[in-house]
Structure 1
Protein backbone atom coordinates (compact mmCIF):
# COMPACT_ATOMS: atom_id res chain seq x y z
CA UNK A 1 0.00 0.00 0.00
CA UNK A 2 1.31 3.43 -0.92
CA UNK A 3 0.96 6.78 0.76
CA UNK A 4 -0.20 10.18 -0.42
CA UNK A 5 2.44 12.87 -0.07
CA UNK A 6 2.13 16.59 -0.67
CA UNK A 7 5.21 18.68 -1.54
CA UNK A 8 4.65 22.41 -1.44
CA UNK A 9 6.75 25.57 -1.72
CA UNK A 10 5.57 28.37 0.60
CA UNK A 11 6.78 31.80 1.66
CA UNK A 12 7.21 32.81 5.30
CA UNK A 13 3.67 34.20 5.21
CA UNK A 14 2.29 30.98 3.76
CA UNK A 15 1.85 31.94 0.09
CA UNK A 16 2.10 29.05 -2.36
CA UNK A 17 0.96 30.76 -5.58
CA UNK A 18 3.18 30.76 -8.67
CA UNK A 19 6.57 29.89 -7.16
CA UNK A 20 8.16 28.95 -10.48
CA UNK A 21 7.74 31.95 -12.74
CA UNK A 22 5.92 35.25 -13.44
CA UNK A 23 3.45 33.68 -15.90
CA UNK A 24 2.76 30.52 -13.90
CA UNK A 25 -0.41 31.73 -12.17
CA UNK A 26 -1.28 35.45 -12.26
CA UNK A 27 -4.87 34.82 -11.16
CA UNK A 28 -6.30 37.36 -8.74
CA UNK A 29 -3.84 39.97 -10.00
CA UNK A 30 -0.86 38.17 -8.44
CA UNK A 31 2.30 40.00 -9.57
CA UNK A 32 4.98 38.12 -7.62
CA UNK A 33 5.33 34.88 -9.56
CA UNK A 34 8.78 33.30 -9.57
CA UNK A 35 9.67 34.01 -5.95
CA UNK A 36 11.53 30.69 -5.56
CA UNK A 37 14.15 31.57 -8.22
CA UNK A 38 16.55 33.53 -5.95
CA UNK A 39 16.67 30.62 -3.48
CA UNK A 40 16.91 27.65 -5.87
CA UNK A 41 20.17 26.12 -4.68
CA UNK A 42 21.85 22.72 -4.65
CA UNK A 43 20.25 21.71 -1.35
CA UNK A 44 16.77 22.33 -2.70
CA UNK A 45 17.57 20.37 -5.84
CA UNK A 46 18.89 17.42 -3.84
CA UNK A 47 15.73 17.24 -1.76
CA UNK A 48 13.43 17.45 -4.78
CA UNK A 49 15.41 14.69 -6.51
CA UNK A 50 15.00 12.48 -3.43
CA UNK A 51 11.26 13.11 -3.36
CA UNK A 52 10.71 12.31 -7.03
CA UNK A 53 12.81 9.18 -6.66
CA UNK A 54 10.14 7.77 -4.32
CA UNK A 55 7.22 8.43 -6.67
CA UNK A 56 4.92 5.67 -7.82
CA UNK A 57 2.38 7.98 -9.49
CA UNK A 58 1.30 11.63 -9.48
CA UNK A 59 -1.96 13.28 -8.49
CA UNK A 60 -2.31 16.78 -9.92
CA UNK A 61 -4.82 19.56 -10.31
CA UNK A 62 -5.69 20.65 -13.84
CA UNK A 63 -3.65 23.86 -13.80
CA UNK A 64 -0.49 22.17 -12.49
CA UNK A 65 -0.93 19.31 -14.95
CA UNK A 66 -1.09 21.77 -17.84
CA UNK A 67 1.96 23.70 -16.60
CA UNK A 68 3.94 20.47 -16.28
CA UNK A 69 2.68 19.16 -19.64
CA UNK A 70 3.96 22.29 -21.41
CA UNK A 71 7.42 21.96 -19.89
CA UNK A 72 8.58 18.47 -18.93
CA UNK A 73 8.16 16.57 -22.22
CA UNK A 74 10.60 19.10 -23.74
CA UNK A 75 13.13 18.64 -20.91
CA UNK A 76 13.26 14.87 -20.59
CA UNK A 77 16.28 13.09 -19.10
CA UNK A 78 15.96 9.36 -18.30
CA UNK A 79 18.85 9.68 -15.82
CA UNK A 80 17.12 12.39 -13.77
CA UNK A 81 14.27 11.13 -11.52
CA UNK A 82 12.32 14.36 -11.86
CA UNK A 83 11.64 14.46 -15.63
CA UNK A 84 12.03 10.70 -16.01
CA UNK A 85 9.28 9.89 -13.51
CA UNK A 86 7.02 12.78 -14.47
CA UNK A 87 7.10 11.75 -18.12
CA UNK A 88 6.75 8.00 -17.58
CA UNK A 89 4.82 7.26 -14.40
CA UNK A 90 1.00 7.30 -14.21
CA UNK A 91 -0.56 10.70 -13.73
CA UNK A 92 -4.01 11.25 -12.23
CA UNK A 93 -5.67 14.63 -12.71
CA UNK A 94 -8.52 15.73 -10.45
CA UNK A 95 -10.60 17.87 -12.78
CA UNK A 96 -14.11 18.32 -14.13
CA UNK A 97 -12.92 20.49 -17.04
CA UNK A 98 -9.97 18.60 -18.57
CA UNK A 99 -11.40 16.87 -21.62
CA UNK A 100 -8.47 15.77 -23.80
CA UNK A 101 -5.25 15.42 -21.80
CA UNK A 102 -2.33 14.78 -24.13
CA UNK A 103 0.53 14.14 -21.68
CA UNK A 104 0.34 10.55 -20.55
CA UNK A 105 0.05 8.08 -19.17
CA UNK A 106 -2.87 9.96 -17.63
CA UNK A 107 -6.27 9.31 -16.09
CA UNK A 108 -8.75 12.07 -15.31
CA UNK A 109 -10.58 11.64 -12.01
CA UNK A 110 -13.76 13.68 -12.28
CA UNK A 111 -16.40 11.51 -10.64
CA UNK A 112 -18.59 12.36 -7.67
CA UNK A 113 -16.67 9.73 -5.69
CA UNK A 114 -13.30 11.46 -6.07
CA UNK A 115 -12.17 10.73 -2.53
CA UNK A 116 -12.73 7.01 -2.94
CA UNK A 117 -10.98 6.99 -6.31
CA UNK A 118 -7.91 8.69 -4.84
CA UNK A 119 -7.75 6.24 -1.93
CA UNK A 120 -8.08 3.32 -4.36
CA UNK A 121 -5.21 4.60 -6.52
CA UNK A 122 -3.00 5.18 -3.46
CA UNK A 123 -3.70 1.76 -1.97
CA UNK A 124 -2.74 0.04 -5.23
CA UNK A 125 0.73 1.66 -5.29
CA UNK A 126 4.03 0.46 -3.88
CA UNK A 127 5.52 3.95 -3.85
CA UNK A 128 4.09 7.40 -3.20
CA UNK A 129 1.12 9.04 -4.83
CA UNK A 130 2.67 12.49 -5.03
CA UNK A 131 0.95 15.88 -5.20
CA UNK A 132 3.07 18.84 -6.32
CA UNK A 133 1.71 22.38 -6.42
CA UNK A 134 -2.00 22.01 -7.21
CA UNK A 135 -3.17 24.55 -4.64
CA UNK A 136 -6.92 23.94 -4.69
CA UNK A 137 -6.45 20.18 -4.78
CA UNK A 138 -3.95 20.36 -1.90
CA UNK A 139 -6.45 22.26 0.25
CA UNK A 140 -9.20 19.80 -0.65
CA UNK A 141 -7.01 16.84 0.34
CA UNK A 142 -5.90 18.44 3.62
CA UNK A 143 -9.51 19.21 4.54
CA UNK A 144 -10.36 15.50 4.22
CA UNK A 145 -7.35 14.06 6.06
CA UNK A 146 -6.09 12.39 2.87
CA UNK A 147 -2.47 13.60 3.10
CA UNK A 148 -0.19 11.04 4.79
CA UNK A 149 2.96 13.15 4.63
CA UNK A 150 3.62 16.84 3.98
CA UNK A 151 6.92 18.15 2.62
CA UNK A 152 6.93 21.86 3.34
CA UNK A 153 9.70 23.97 1.78
CA UNK A 154 9.61 27.36 3.50
CA UNK A 155 11.49 30.09 1.61
CA UNK A 156 12.88 33.20 3.38
CA UNK A 157 10.64 35.74 1.68
CA UNK A 158 7.37 37.51 2.58
CA UNK A 159 4.98 38.61 -0.18
CA UNK A 160 1.90 39.91 1.61
CA UNK A 161 -0.42 38.69 -1.15
CA UNK A 162 -1.30 35.50 -2.96
CA UNK A 163 -3.06 32.19 -2.37
CA UNK A 164 -2.05 30.49 0.85
CA UNK A 165 -1.72 26.77 1.51
CA UNK A 166 -3.64 26.87 4.79
CA UNK A 167 -6.70 29.09 4.35
CA UNK A 168 -8.88 30.51 7.09
CA UNK A 169 -11.39 27.86 8.12
CA UNK A 170 -9.07 24.92 7.47
CA UNK A 171 -9.23 21.73 9.50
CA UNK A 172 -7.33 22.03 12.85
CA UNK A 173 -4.70 19.30 12.57
CA UNK A 174 -1.65 18.32 14.62
CA UNK A 175 1.54 17.04 12.98
CA UNK A 176 4.73 15.31 14.04
CA UNK A 177 8.08 16.31 12.56
CA UNK A 178 9.55 13.43 10.54
CA UNK A 179 12.55 15.25 9.06
CA UNK A 180 14.16 18.67 8.78
CA UNK A 181 17.04 20.37 6.98
CA UNK A 182 18.07 23.85 5.85
CA UNK A 183 19.64 24.72 2.51
CA UNK A 184 22.52 27.15 2.01
CA UNK A 185 20.05 29.75 0.67
CA UNK A 186 18.08 29.62 3.91
CA UNK A 187 15.17 27.47 2.80
CA UNK A 188 13.80 25.39 5.68
CA UNK A 189 12.59 21.97 4.56
CA UNK A 190 10.30 20.12 6.96
CA UNK A 191 8.54 16.80 6.57
CA UNK A 192 5.42 16.38 8.70
CA UNK A 193 2.98 13.53 9.34
CA UNK A 194 -0.51 14.23 10.66
CA UNK A 195 -1.28 12.80 14.12
CA UNK A 196 -4.95 13.78 14.48
CA UNK A 197 -6.95 16.79 15.56
CA UNK A 198 -5.15 19.75 17.12
CA UNK A 199 -5.19 19.83 20.95
CA UNK A 200 -5.59 22.91 23.13
CA UNK A 201 -4.77 23.90 26.69
CA UNK A 202 -3.16 26.51 28.91
CA UNK A 203 0.62 26.84 29.00
CA UNK A 204 2.01 26.09 32.46
CA UNK A 205 -0.98 24.10 33.71
Structure 2
Protein backbone atom coordinates (compact mmCIF):
# COMPACT_ATOMS: atom_id res chain seq x y z
CA UNK A 1 0.00 0.00 0.00
CA UNK A 2 1.30 3.43 -0.92
CA UNK A 3 1.05 6.79 0.80
CA UNK A 4 -0.12 10.19 -0.39
CA UNK A 5 2.49 12.92 -0.17
CA UNK A 6 2.16 16.63 -0.87
CA UNK A 7 5.20 18.65 -1.92
CA UNK A 8 4.78 22.42 -2.02
CA UNK A 9 6.87 25.56 -2.40
CA UNK A 10 5.82 28.24 0.13
CA UNK A 11 6.74 31.86 0.77
CA UNK A 12 7.26 33.00 4.37
CA UNK A 13 3.63 34.10 4.48
CA UNK A 14 2.41 30.74 3.17
CA UNK A 15 1.77 31.64 -0.48
CA UNK A 16 2.04 28.75 -2.94
CA UNK A 17 0.71 30.42 -6.09
CA UNK A 18 2.76 30.55 -9.31
CA UNK A 19 6.21 29.73 -7.91
CA UNK A 20 7.77 28.93 -11.29
CA UNK A 21 7.04 31.87 -13.58
CA UNK A 22 5.14 35.14 -14.16
CA UNK A 23 2.49 33.57 -16.40
CA UNK A 24 2.06 30.34 -14.46
CA UNK A 25 -1.05 31.43 -12.55
CA UNK A 26 -2.27 35.03 -12.58
CA UNK A 27 -5.70 34.25 -11.13
CA UNK A 28 -6.94 36.80 -8.61
CA UNK A 29 -4.65 39.38 -10.19
CA UNK A 30 -1.50 37.73 -8.79
CA UNK A 31 1.56 39.64 -10.07
CA UNK A 32 4.46 37.90 -8.34
CA UNK A 33 4.82 34.67 -10.28
CA UNK A 34 8.32 33.19 -10.40
CA UNK A 35 9.25 34.02 -6.82
CA UNK A 36 11.09 30.69 -6.38
CA UNK A 37 13.52 31.25 -9.26
CA UNK A 38 16.02 33.60 -7.52
CA UNK A 39 16.51 31.03 -4.73
CA UNK A 40 16.75 27.81 -6.74
CA UNK A 41 20.01 26.13 -5.79
CA UNK A 42 21.72 22.75 -5.75
CA UNK A 43 20.20 21.78 -2.41
CA UNK A 44 16.70 22.40 -3.70
CA UNK A 45 17.43 20.29 -6.78
CA UNK A 46 18.80 17.45 -4.66
CA UNK A 47 15.70 17.33 -2.45
CA UNK A 48 13.29 17.48 -5.38
CA UNK A 49 15.17 14.63 -7.06
CA UNK A 50 14.91 12.54 -3.88
CA UNK A 51 11.15 13.13 -3.80
CA UNK A 52 10.61 12.15 -7.43
CA UNK A 53 12.73 9.03 -6.97
CA UNK A 54 10.03 7.74 -4.59
CA UNK A 55 7.09 8.39 -6.91
CA UNK A 56 4.73 5.61 -7.91
CA UNK A 57 2.14 7.88 -9.53
CA UNK A 58 1.01 11.50 -9.52
CA UNK A 59 -2.25 13.13 -8.45
CA UNK A 60 -2.67 16.59 -9.95
CA UNK A 61 -5.25 19.31 -10.23
CA UNK A 62 -6.30 20.28 -13.75
CA UNK A 63 -4.37 23.56 -13.84
CA UNK A 64 -1.12 21.99 -12.63
CA UNK A 65 -1.60 19.08 -15.04
CA UNK A 66 -1.93 21.51 -17.94
CA UNK A 67 1.13 23.52 -16.85
CA UNK A 68 3.19 20.32 -16.60
CA UNK A 69 1.78 19.00 -19.90
CA UNK A 70 2.95 22.13 -21.71
CA UNK A 71 6.50 21.78 -20.39
CA UNK A 72 7.67 18.29 -19.50
CA UNK A 73 7.04 16.40 -22.78
CA UNK A 74 9.37 18.94 -24.46
CA UNK A 75 12.06 18.50 -21.78
CA UNK A 76 12.17 14.73 -21.48
CA UNK A 77 15.36 13.11 -20.20
CA UNK A 78 15.31 9.43 -19.18
CA UNK A 79 18.30 10.08 -16.90
CA UNK A 80 16.44 12.80 -14.97
CA UNK A 81 14.02 11.24 -12.43
CA UNK A 82 11.81 14.34 -12.47
CA UNK A 83 11.29 14.38 -16.24
CA UNK A 84 11.37 10.60 -16.64
CA UNK A 85 8.82 9.88 -13.93
CA UNK A 86 6.46 12.71 -14.85
CA UNK A 87 6.42 11.62 -18.47
CA UNK A 88 6.14 7.87 -17.85
CA UNK A 89 4.39 7.15 -14.55
CA UNK A 90 0.58 7.16 -14.22
CA UNK A 91 -0.99 10.56 -13.71
CA UNK A 92 -4.41 11.00 -12.10
CA UNK A 93 -6.13 14.33 -12.69
CA UNK A 94 -8.84 15.60 -10.37
CA UNK A 95 -11.14 17.58 -12.64
CA UNK A 96 -14.79 18.03 -13.55
CA UNK A 97 -13.97 19.73 -16.87
CA UNK A 98 -11.06 17.79 -18.40
CA UNK A 99 -12.41 15.02 -20.61
CA UNK A 100 -9.56 13.79 -22.81
CA UNK A 101 -6.12 14.33 -21.24
CA UNK A 102 -3.48 14.63 -23.95
CA UNK A 103 -0.39 13.93 -21.82
CA UNK A 104 -0.40 10.32 -20.76
CA UNK A 105 -0.56 7.95 -19.19
CA UNK A 106 -3.35 9.89 -17.51
CA UNK A 107 -6.72 9.14 -15.95
CA UNK A 108 -9.32 11.73 -14.99
CA UNK A 109 -10.85 11.02 -11.58
CA UNK A 110 -14.58 11.56 -11.22
CA UNK A 111 -15.23 14.56 -8.99
CA UNK A 112 -18.38 13.00 -7.55
CA UNK A 113 -16.41 10.03 -6.17
CA UNK A 114 -13.02 11.68 -5.83
CA UNK A 115 -12.34 10.72 -2.22
CA UNK A 116 -12.93 7.01 -2.74
CA UNK A 117 -11.01 7.09 -6.02
CA UNK A 118 -7.98 8.71 -4.39
CA UNK A 119 -7.98 6.09 -1.62
CA UNK A 120 -8.31 3.29 -4.18
CA UNK A 121 -5.39 4.57 -6.26
CA UNK A 122 -3.17 5.10 -3.20
CA UNK A 123 -3.91 1.68 -1.72
CA UNK A 124 -3.03 0.00 -5.02
CA UNK A 125 0.40 1.62 -5.27
CA UNK A 126 3.90 0.61 -4.31
CA UNK A 127 5.54 3.93 -3.61
CA UNK A 128 4.07 7.39 -3.26
CA UNK A 129 1.02 8.98 -4.82
CA UNK A 130 2.53 12.44 -5.14
CA UNK A 131 0.77 15.79 -5.30
CA UNK A 132 2.81 18.75 -6.58
CA UNK A 133 1.40 22.26 -6.65
CA UNK A 134 -2.35 21.82 -7.29
CA UNK A 135 -3.42 24.36 -4.66
CA UNK A 136 -7.18 23.76 -4.59
CA UNK A 137 -6.73 19.99 -4.70
CA UNK A 138 -4.13 20.17 -1.90
CA UNK A 139 -6.55 22.07 0.34
CA UNK A 140 -9.34 19.60 -0.48
CA UNK A 141 -7.12 16.64 0.42
CA UNK A 142 -5.92 18.22 3.68
CA UNK A 143 -9.50 18.97 4.73
CA UNK A 144 -10.36 15.26 4.39
CA UNK A 145 -7.29 13.80 6.14
CA UNK A 146 -6.08 12.20 2.92
CA UNK A 147 -2.50 13.52 3.07
CA UNK A 148 -0.04 11.21 4.83
CA UNK A 149 3.07 13.36 4.52
CA UNK A 150 3.95 16.99 3.74
CA UNK A 151 7.16 18.25 2.13
CA UNK A 152 7.24 22.02 2.63
CA UNK A 153 9.99 24.05 0.98
CA UNK A 154 9.84 27.49 2.61
CA UNK A 155 11.58 30.28 0.71
CA UNK A 156 13.00 33.43 2.35
CA UNK A 157 10.58 35.84 0.68
CA UNK A 158 7.37 37.55 1.83
CA UNK A 159 4.78 38.25 -0.88
CA UNK A 160 1.76 39.75 0.85
CA UNK A 161 -0.70 38.38 -1.71
CA UNK A 162 -1.59 35.14 -3.43
CA UNK A 163 -3.23 31.78 -2.73
CA UNK A 164 -2.07 30.16 0.50
CA UNK A 165 -1.77 26.46 1.24
CA UNK A 166 -3.46 26.69 4.64
CA UNK A 167 -6.57 28.86 4.40
CA UNK A 168 -8.67 30.16 7.26
CA UNK A 169 -11.11 27.49 8.31
CA UNK A 170 -8.82 24.53 7.65
CA UNK A 171 -8.99 21.37 9.73
CA UNK A 172 -6.80 21.61 12.90
CA UNK A 173 -4.21 18.87 12.43
CA UNK A 174 -1.08 17.82 14.34
CA UNK A 175 2.11 16.78 12.54
CA UNK A 176 5.37 15.08 13.44
CA UNK A 177 8.59 16.53 11.99
CA UNK A 178 10.48 13.67 10.31
CA UNK A 179 13.13 15.57 8.38
CA UNK A 180 14.65 19.05 8.11
CA UNK A 181 17.43 20.74 6.18
CA UNK A 182 18.41 24.18 4.92
CA UNK A 183 19.90 24.89 1.50
CA UNK A 184 22.66 27.37 0.71
CA UNK A 185 20.10 29.88 -0.62
CA UNK A 186 18.16 29.78 2.64
CA UNK A 187 15.34 27.43 1.63
CA UNK A 188 14.05 25.63 4.73
CA UNK A 189 12.92 22.12 3.81
CA UNK A 190 10.64 20.35 6.30
CA UNK A 191 8.97 16.96 6.07
CA UNK A 192 5.97 16.30 8.30
CA UNK A 193 3.90 13.17 8.94
CA UNK A 194 0.29 13.61 10.05
CA UNK A 195 -0.56 12.60 13.64
CA UNK A 196 -4.29 13.27 13.83
CA UNK A 197 -6.25 16.12 15.37
CA UNK A 198 -4.44 19.05 16.96
CA UNK A 199 -4.31 19.03 20.76
CA UNK A 200 -4.74 22.07 23.03
CA UNK A 201 -3.94 22.90 26.64
CA UNK A 202 -3.08 25.55 29.21
CA UNK A 203 0.31 26.35 30.75
CA UNK A 204 0.36 25.70 34.48
CA UNK A 205 0.96 28.49 36.99
Distance in 1, matches of 2:54 and 2:203, equals: 40
Q: Which residue of 2 aligns with 1:5?
A: 5
**3-state SS, counterpart of residue 93 of structure 1:** strand
Distance in 2, matches of 1:162 and 1:55, equals: 28
The Cα of 1:110 is off from its aligned counterpart by 1.8
Distance in 2, matches of 1:27 and 1:38, equals: 22
The Cα of 1:143 is off from its aligned counterpart by 0.2
**Structure 1 runs of 4+ with >2 Å offset:** none
Q: Is 1:92 aligned to 2:96, yes or no?
A: no
Q: Which residue of 1 aligns with 2:17?
A: 17
Distance in 2, matches of 1:47 and 1:5, equals: 14
**3-state SS, counterpart of residue 152 of structure 1:** strand
Q: Which residue of 1 aligns with 2:113?
A: 113
The Cα of 1:204 is off from its aligned counterpart by 3.8
Q: Which residue of 2 aligns with 1:156?
A: 156
Distance in 2, matches of 1:21 and 1:65, equals: 16
The Cα of 1:33 is off from its aligned counterpart by 0.2
TM, length-normalised to structure 1 = 0.99
Root-mean-square deviation (CA, aligned residues, Å) is: 0.7
Q: Which residue of 2 aligns with 1:28?
A: 28
Structural mapping, 1:95-174, within 5 Å: 95-174=95-174
Runs of 5+ in structure 2 lacking a partner? none
The Cα of 1:113 is off from its aligned counterpart by 1.3
Q: Which residue of 2 aligns with 1:55?
A: 55
Structural mapping, 1:167-182, within 5 Å: 167-182=167-182
Runs of 5+ in structure 1 lacking a partner? none
TM, length-normalised to structure 2 = 0.99
Q: Which residue of 1 aligns with 2:199?
A: 199
Number of residue pairs aligned between Structure 1 and Structure 2? 205
**3-state SS, counterpart of residue 84 of structure 1:** helix
Distance in 1, matches of 2:204 and 2:74, equals: 57
Distance in 2, matches of 1:139 and 1:195, equals: 17
The Cα of 1:111 is off from its aligned counterpart by 3.9
The Cα of 1:54 is off from its aligned counterpart by 0.3
Distance in 1, matches of 2:111 and 2:188, equals: 37
